[in-house]
A and B are shown apart, each in its own frame.
Chain A
Amino acid sequence: MLRVRELTGFYGASQALFGMELSVDAGEVVTLMGRNGMGKTTTVHAIMGVLPSRRGVIEFDGHRLDQLPSFRIARLGLGLVPEGRQIFPNLSVRENLVAASANRGERPAPWTLDRVFGLFPRLAERQKNGGNQLSGGEQQMLAIGRALMTNPKLLVLDEATEGLAPLIREEIWSCLRQLKAEGQSILVIDKNVGALIGLADRHHIVEKGRVVWSGTSQALAGDSVLQHRYLGV
């Protein structure tokens, strides 16, 4: 579904990605792991078209993304839950969701306001609140809900559990498990190896702008040296 090959990316003159390779197949949950500053978010930005200088091949669902503007990429079915959530603070919870709603891929049972509220009952209670009046966990739920409202073929989560209380974090993981069970393809960027091994099918470990290891959950779980070396656990 998503295939990234020989991706390089720059911030001005300094290179951040050195031949990134990664893939996600339909129905899979795949991770991108690694320490801070290794290029995970940059990779996401390159895929979503918000990193202006990128080179390489990014294919999604039969389309080349590497030449497309950001809004076209999103319209092809990539839904991003960005790092730092980035809720629209001047829109209410409901407006945040309705603004994003679309079913461009003509999905048979699309995500609707009611379904998102079913997944996150907290959002239903706070639907009239402004985006700037939510707790961190609620903002994260809203960010996920907003991405789901675009009915993405591939949901991309960038540090979705960062800075959340353990209980809320668990709520997010359980929501992702539920999405996976429904067949949603997901690309997750996170540092929580334990939770990711249980959730994802395959993993990519990133170091200094390239993938240094990729494999299944089973392989990762059995290799504590690998975990120690690249993920610092």
Chain B
Amino acid sequence: MAELLPALRTPRGVVTALLLLLLAVLPLLTQAFDQRYLLSVGTRIVIWSIAAASLNMILGYGGLVSFGHAAFLGIGGYAVGILSAEGFASGWLQWPVAIAVAVAWGTLIGALSLRTRGVYFIMITLAFAQLVYYLSSGLAAYGGDDGLNISRSRFPGLIDLRDKASFYWLCFVLLCATLWFCSRLVHSRFGYVLRGAKSNELRMTALGFPVFRYRLVAFALAGGFGALAGILLANDGAYVSPAMMSWVKSGDLIVIVVLGGIGALFGPLYGAIAFFAVEEFLPPLLNLMHRGWGEYWQIVFGPLLVIIALYARGGLDSLLGRRHG
């Protein structure tokens, strides 16, 4: 914690601290102002921040553009959903199983995908994600295309996930834990190798590091954290469906990471806030200008992304000043 204090003197540190503070007390605010809907938006922002942070581990620090990350969310969600449908309601069972399955899947497809580079990597990760997507659509016993209503994970005596505020705080704590883990990872030897290999894989190899293995571990870890986000999504809506792992969601995750700042620790949080803020508030704004325009909010959002990609290479994070490393 001591090393975080000097960070508070920079604009980035101040903004991040205020943002975290705001998120920490969000349920109190939404209750005080009687804006329950905003709490549900906040919950989604926090969960998608976890998902984006997990993608940032491999995309941001490893330079690996995975276009199938939503599959991990789906695996996490469906593991909870299927176990719940089969009568295993305990979160103590559901959650570890969900994460373990995602890590195993990540190891398997990572071992295959990481042999490719560039566009091929993008395509192969997309292909594997589509495979999981269609698999879940085909699960007739578990709702198929329509998805599956589930009962929320039970942690008796600890927390009741049906309570919106408690659930929000749980998500928030898990987001903090995820970001803490990311920061530890990035500033470890493992992280140096991962980041160094992003800029020069051959050099890292010639220094004696089997880059493939490091990336595989990162890929599997990212899958585990992605599954965590999926578990939370499933519990948020008490519902899972193939839609949560469609390629569009994988694309959204990349957008969030890029928007927030590739390889910036808090980038996924900034990105998710911006993404959902636009998604929530742009349509009504456009509707104000002209009835019906709101439906086409993405016409505005698209060029906005292009502008960010062209002129703010470090995403929103770069607006907070130069970053080291």
Interface residues of B in 175-232 (CB under 8 A from A): 189, 192-193, 195-196, 198-200, 202-211
Contact A95 B210 (CB under 8 A): no
Interface residues of B in 292-318 (CB under 8 A from A): none
Contact A92 B206 (CB under 8 A): no
Most buried by A among B203, B204, B208, B211: B208
Judge whether A213 is part of the interface by a CB distance below 8 angstroms: no
Judge whether B157 is part of the interface by a CB distance below 8 angstroms: no
Given A50-B206, A74-B207, A150-B207, A130 and B324 contact (CB-CB distance below 8 Å):
yes
Which residues on the B side are within 8 Å of A90 (C-beta)?
A: 195-196, 198-199, 263, 325
**Bitwise interface map of A from 59 to 83 toward B, beta carbon under 8 Å scored 1, else 0:** 0000000000111011100001010
Which residues on the B side are within 8 Å of A86 (C-beta)?
A: 200, 203
Contact B206 A98 (CB under 8 A): no
Which of A75, A89, A146 meets B199, CB within 8 Å? A89
Given A71-B210, A99-B192, A82 and B203 contact (CB-CB distance below 8 Å):
yes
In the assembled complex, the CB of A103 is this many whole angstroms from the nearest CB of chain B, namely: 11
What is the number of contacts between chain A and chain B, taking CB atoms within 8 Å?
74
Which residues on the B side are within 8 Å of A150 (C-beta)?
A: 207-208
In the assembled complex, the CB of A203 is this many whole angstroms from the nearest CB of chain B, namely: 25
C-alpha spacing A82/B195, complex, angstroms: 19
User: What bracket does the count of chain A residues touching chain B fall in?
Assistant: 20 to 34
C-alpha spacing A73/B325, complex, angstroms: 29
Which of B189, B202, B205, B207 meets A146, CB within 8 Å? B207
Judge whether A88 is part of the interface by a CB distance below 8 angstroms: yes
Judge whether A193 is part of the interface by a CB distance below 8 angstroms: no
Contact B189 A82 (CB under 8 A): no
Which residues on the B side are within 8 Å of A130 (C-beta)?
A: 324-325
Most buried by B among A49, A50, A70: A70
Which of B189, B210, B324 meets A99, CB within 8 Å? B189
Given A88-B199, A90-B198, A82 and B206 contact (CB-CB distance below 8 Å):
yes
C-alpha spacing A104/B263, complex, angstroms: 31
Which residues on the A side are within 8 Å of B192 (C-beta)?
A: 91, 95-96, 98-99
Which residues on the A side are within 8 Å of B204 (C-beta)?
A: 88, 99
C-alpha spacing A74/B202, complex, angstroms: 12
Judge whether A155 is part of the interface by a CB distance below 8 angstroms: no
Contact B200 A71 (CB under 8 A): no
In the assembled complex, the CB of A129 is this many whole angstroms from the nearest CB of chain B, namely: 8
Contact B325 A95 (CB under 8 A): yes
Given A90-B199, A99-B196, A128 and B324 contact (CB-CB distance below 8 Å):
yes
Contact B325 A74 (CB under 8 A): no
Contact A71 B325 (CB under 8 A): no
Interface residues of B in 251-267 (CB under 8 A from A): 263
Contact B195 A74 (CB under 8 A): no
Which residues on the A side are within 8 Å of B209 (C-beta)?
A: 71, 74
Which residues on the A side are within 8 Å of B199 (C-beta)?
A: 88-91
**Bitwise interface map of B from 221 to 254 toward A, beta carbon under 8 Å scored 1, else 0:** 0000000000000000000000000000000000
Closest 9 CB pairs of A and B: A74-B208, A99-B192, A88-B196, A75-B208, A70-B205, A71-B210, A86-B203, A95-B192, A71-B205
- Contact surface of B with A, Cβ cutoff 8 Å: 189, 192-193, 195-196, 198-200, 202-211, 263, 324-325
Given contacts A74-B206, A90-B195, 11 further A-B contacts (CB under 8 A): A69-B205, A70-B206, A71-B210, A74-B207, A74-B209, A88-B203, A91-B325, A95-B192, A100-B208, A130-B324, A146-B207
